[in-house]
Structure 1
């Protein structure tokens, strides 16, 4: 039997020793969100002393405002791309130190690997893992969005081993033999607490709950509206979970008995997710819990996988909807705000499911910096806006004023349905605009 502890010790380095393995033109992928190895990322400016050039770092929903995001002297040493923006990345982009990669969650990695393979660049994975077990396996813990796929693709693997991370099941096993180098840390795992939601969120939650039948399989995102939806689903029966992000509200639904995963039709008796970011309660719940499986996005968000679940209901948010049903969910005009994530894939997958429904939810209005009220339902999307969900795919749209079911409607009928759920102060203006612009 191999001495896994000895192998582990032979690969243990300090942060600088691990970063010394990075070569010019390497393409580094960081674990998503709470899975990112902040002990490594905090020290990336060290690369300025090693002589490397042309390195790329690709993140997805980073949890910290790293100094290198704003360091002009990193130009030429390392550039930064992101699949999903945060406030810190938005600030970095203003100075042309970060850029977005248009993507869908199931193909983002394969397309990027195609690019860097053609350019003869080496893929590198940075990720956080839970400690090694007696058989030599570390755990990818809270994120399997693309991490295991990268290891299978032959990436150089550098990990941060942290005992505060839960051990999870699914596509999470990483054997010590697959790791090139590791560092150790004892930092706290990033966490977020549930925020109180508004009465508008609650009303949207009530509207959506009317669409969710007993026996449905759920995909819920993060935020006030999904939290409100979950609260309204407590009295449902035999719900299932197949989602990109596992959230605290899902634990509520499991513990109250609304979710039992018994009639999903695929992966019965298991909750399926690709990552999590939550409170300590979430991390304690998933730790050594075999009923929650963390699967790669290439599986979990694949529309064909989703479509094998019964009555799949996807619930996603958007920033703006035009009168034909186009949804801009990741940009404010031309300003990158977040990312596509799994929205377009879960939208399509839900409608491939027997009895499935895809729901796009938003408040009917927003206020600008001056306090002026604007409608989120508009004749045309803002100039430069990115269409995250095309009008060909939009199914249900829900605001606090009701439900617009667009499936099978022509353009005129869509406009009428969407105007009916707009804020009353804007409905007549929308009707006039629809007529003037021939949206019929």
Structure 2
């Protein structure tokens, strides 16, 4: 190893060389500056790198005839360089970049890296970026290092012997920091919904962008999380600091934070420096889908630019214009999908930030590249809710994705789906909002998910109907009914929630939901009263579900100015009659009428709701 003499650049970087440049927070800017100072002596250089923080002076137009950038991930500045023809973009999953270097597909002549000073054993640490740097060091003919005493020394597979470094330049400089942006309410809402999909004890990966960041921030009340992520950032560090992530339930690499690079604040860099709980490994190791799948309950959270109604995810382009890169998306989506109890989650706001265009589209714009196939997508989350589409037919996934699109775009999406024959002709009403806050509810029988019914619940409502015994059907409908057609189920599910209300309690297992109770009301013509009806599955009765739903209906009714809820009950339905009487209902039946009619004051129902929940040991799970 020798100190770098700037006069050597023309001999070290020969004409036509392919030069690797470390990325992330490890861009060796001192080396770059030294090399560019001799740019007039260099010829036809290809500079290969991934995403990097800070300035990108090598793409300035004055270097256009000297070097050409080839990046695996595009920043805004690099995107502009690609569009003006000065730079190239190579789409490739991060787990496969090492293969390109090591197997002759993209051989490297020179690697420019940044490392810590050597320890007493002559070993330097790659610090905060191991990712594809380790493979570059192994593959390149010549390795030139910027030795920075301010580079954190990290554990894992980060060490290289000083003998592997051919030239070095000492330069002490703070690492560039990634600014954490202020999230808008849309991101906070989608983060809340995505967090409801993530169980305590899960191992998580969080991708780049505001939407994945919002999910990480929403996990602070979780417990016993683990981390196996390509990127370790401030949001994940905060989960460790607040105690939400203690890695105690990780079955693979227990007790360890696993990542390939660190990107964030100076506080984050200090956190990983010498921290024995943090292990950084190369991207081909961390992002290997088979290795990811070894983590039980692996949850992968990644952003997208748009998704079509069949579930195809676009990440690195919009039409013929390239943005970002593939990164770790497909690696972690597939790894989490193969994990025992794993959950791959795609998160995106329903509309674009600049022009309000829907990011859920009927068909992809020509030129858009599909990074994740429709068969790999499990859960999609926007600020309007969750669409669980894995294993769903085209009809089911179209219906579910329309429901989490922005309300302004739902009708046009439905029309486009109808034109393509993806939905039955009677499926014409987009989902409407009831204003009900969905979430997990703890009952004596267990945990159930509470939310309004959607039009896409038509199939679930059919299954719910056919799971009942004859007596339940008779008590609910007042007569023997032996069939629930798709169209009939649709009409029951696709209520106008701005006028009427239909609420459900569900069990959840991965992407599958099963209805276990329904409560609904239909507004009367006078606008001051509404008819209520309930049905609870036989397996979950005597847990207070009907009473819970009655209280929730009362809250909505009170907010809308409705004064009275009433119900018609068969004489043999003693359980439902008992519920209404205990809620203060007055029976207004007349002699000769078969059904018993109960009328309840909404004001009292809403007031007594809290006491009922306490008495029945029912409570919301607050996260």
So what's the TM-score if we normalise by structure 1? 0.92
Post-superposition Cα deviations, 1:218-261, rounded to whole Å, max 9, x if no partner, equal: 00123332332223212211110000000111121112211111
What is the correspondence of 1:37-52 to structure 2 with a 5 Å cutoff?
37-50=28-41, 52=42
SS at match of 1:429: helix
Counterpart in the other structure of 1:103: 92
Post-superposition Cα deviations, 1:76-99, rounded to whole Å, max 9, x if no partner, equal: x32210000001101211221101
> Shift of the alpha carbon at 1:72?
5.0
Q: Pick closer, same or farther for the CA change 1:218–1:19 going to 2, 3 Å.
A: farther
> Shift of the alpha carbon at 1:46?
4.0
Distance 2:291 2:141 in 1: 26
Quick check: 1:21 aligned with 2:3? no
> Shift of the alpha carbon at 1:186?
1.8
Q: Is the 8 A contact 2:189 2:383 kept in 1?
A: yes
Unmatched 5+ residue regions in structure 2?
424-623
Counterpart in the other structure of 1:270: 256
Counterpart in the other structure of 1:62: 52
Distance 1:154 1:42 in 2: 20
Counterpart in the other structure of 2:519: none
Counterpart in the other structure of 1:31: 22
Counterpart in the other structure of 2:270: 284
Q: Is the 8 A contact 1:116 1:122 kept in 2?
A: no
SS at match of 1:34: coil
Q: Pick closer, same or farther for the CA change 1:16–1:378 going to 2, 3 Å.
A: farther
Q: Pick closer, same or farther for the CA change 1:153–1:287 going to 2, 3 Å.
A: same
Counterpart in the other structure of 2:319: 333
Post-superposition Cα deviations, 1:203-224, rounded to whole Å, max 9, x if no partner, equal: 1111011111011000012333
> Shift of the alpha carbon at 1:30?
1.1
Post-superposition Cα deviations, 1:378-428, rounded to whole Å, max 9, x if no partner, equal: 001122111111112111000011101111011111111100111111111
SS at match of 1:33: coil
Distance 1:57 1:388 in 2: 25
Q: Is the 8 A contact 1:168 1:287 kept in 2?
A: yes
Quick check: 1:379 aligned with 2:379? no
Distance 2:69 2:317 in 1: 19
Bigger mean CA deviation after superposition, 258-267 or 302-311: 258-267
Counterpart in the other structure of 2:397: 414
Distance 2:110 2:229 in 1: 27
Counterpart in the other structure of 1:11: 2
Q: Is the 8 A contact 2:108 2:136 kept in 1?
A: no
Quick check: 1:91 aligned with 2:77? no
Counterpart in the other structure of 1:225: 211
Distance 2:372 2:88 in 1: 21
Distance 1:128 1:154 in 2: 15
Distance 1:144 1:345 in 2: 17
Counterpart in the other structure of 2:375: 392
Distance 2:325 2:200 in 1: 31
Quick check: 1:243 aligned with 2:229? yes
Counterpart in the other structure of 2:611: none
> Shift of the alpha carbon at 1:162?
0.9
> Shift of the alpha carbon at 1:154?
5.1
What is the correspondence of 1:256-267 to structure 2 with a 5 Å cutoff?
256-267=242-253
Counterpart in the other structure of 1:212: 198
Q: Is the 8 A contact 1:207 1:400 kept in 2?
A: yes
Distance 1:236 1:436 in 2: 44
Distance 1:438 1:59 in 2: 45
SS at match of 1:111: helix
Quick check: 1:315 aligned with 2:301? yes
Give the structure with higher Rg (CA): 2
Looking at both structures, which has the greater relative contact order when contacts are Cα pairs under 8 Å and sequence separation is at least 6?
A: 1
Post-superposition Cα deviations, 1:27-49, rounded to whole Å, max 9, x if no partner, equal: 11111211111112234434543
Quick check: 1:437 aligned with 2:434? no
SS at match of 1:374: coil
Counterpart in the other structure of 1:405: 388
Q: Is the 8 A contact 1:16 1:46 kept in 2?
A: no
- Runs of 4+ aligned residues of structure 1 deviating over 4 Å after TM superposition are none
Distance 1:103 1:259 in 2: 31
Q: Is the 8 A contact 2:208 2:302 kept in 1?
A: no
Counterpart in the other structure of 1:345: 331
So what's the TM-score if we normalise by structure 2? 0.66
> Shift of the alpha carbon at 1:62?
2.5
> Shift of the alpha carbon at 1:287?
0.4
